[in-house]
Amino acid sequence: MESLFINTLMAIVSTAILVLVFWRIGLLLPKPEGKTENLRNFHCAHPPALFNKEFKCEAFYLLINIFISQSVAILLIFALMKFGADGLPYQVFDKQVGSLPFVLQVLLGLLVIDISVWIRHGFVHKFLWSFHAVHHSAKELTWLTTRRLHPVDQIVMSLIDFVILYVLGFSAEGMAGALAVKYLNNLFVHSNIVLDYPKPWKYIFVSPNMHRWHHATEKEAHDKNFCVVFAFIDYFMGTYYVPDNALPKAYGSDIAELDDIEHKSIWKELWQPFKATRGTTVAHETVKPGRSELG
Ligand SMILES: [Zn+2]
Ligand SMILES: [Zn+2]
């Protein structure tokens, strides 16, 4: 319970700091006007808005995920570790992986997490779209969009990230390092920054533009760019889509009730996926017919 309290407190403090840092960076960046001719330019995609409806919606999800989803995930992890200590195979390669230098563990951990992100993210697009569509309902990307997640989506993500690293035998420091770098890059690629990396880097690391295409409403971009750190995983798996010098025309989930920020009810949005999936598995294409042709 003590570590749960510390974790929640840390999440609130770090979030407050990040609000200020990212808001400040947004103010410093060149504004979008007249900057569309070179989309590699490091510039602001849209003016940083504080306290509009999108911001309030994303702040709501952030708080729900800090106070509820994260706590549930931690309690489940505690339960799992207690269960594991009673004889389940756990920390399988701890002698080999856990003894690696910190930097190597972080790099290896990032690779492992991002491969699992590719699998999990593809799975939720295909089979749990009604939950994951909450994340895609953002009409503009901001660093807060990172945490605009249905609690079920957030809990599944936290559990898988932790369990995979733990079972493989990473040390506590290695796990913390890899998860922190993944989280920071995830915040960066969701922020209101337009930035593509020059070749070959754009095929190696996920840029803000690469993740912008993940949120695009254009058909060619649907179910692409699942990773959050290493672009080469998407490239090798055939899900890489980052056109040069181009940006998506619009972002959204294509589900009218979720995308309509003016009229939607967040409480209804939280409850809706359970009704949609009751007794059956709702595939991505069931909810969003426009995406059915894509793999
Ligand atoms: Zn997605
Ligand atoms: Zn995203």
Query: Ligand 2 mean position to 215 CA, how many Å?
Result: 6
Ligand 1 center to 87 CA (angstroms): 36
Q: What's the confidence (pLDDT) of residue 285?
A: 46
Residue 134 clears pLDDT 90, i.e. is over it: yes
> Cα of 187 to ligand 2 centre, how many Å?
9
77 Cα to the center of ligand 1, angstroms? 24
Ligand 2 centre from 2 Cα, in Å? 32
Residue 37: is its pLDDT beyond 50? Answer: no
65 Cα: distance to centroid of ligand 1 (angstroms): 17
- Report how many domains make up the chain: 1
For the stretch 97-112, pLDDT in tens is 778 889 999 999 999 9
CA 150 to centroid of ligand 2, rounded, Å: 12
Question: In angstroms, what is the span from residue 146 Cα to ligand 1's centroid?
Answer: 11
Encoding tokens for residue 91? 């920390």
2 falls in which pLDDT band (50, 70, 90)? low
Domain of residue 27 covers 2-291
Q: How high is the pLDDT of residue 152?
A: 93
Question: For 1, how many CA atoms within 13 A lie in the half-sphere containing its CB?
Answer: 0
Rounded to the nearest whole angstrom, what is the distance from the C-alpha of residue 191 to the centroid of ligand 2? 10
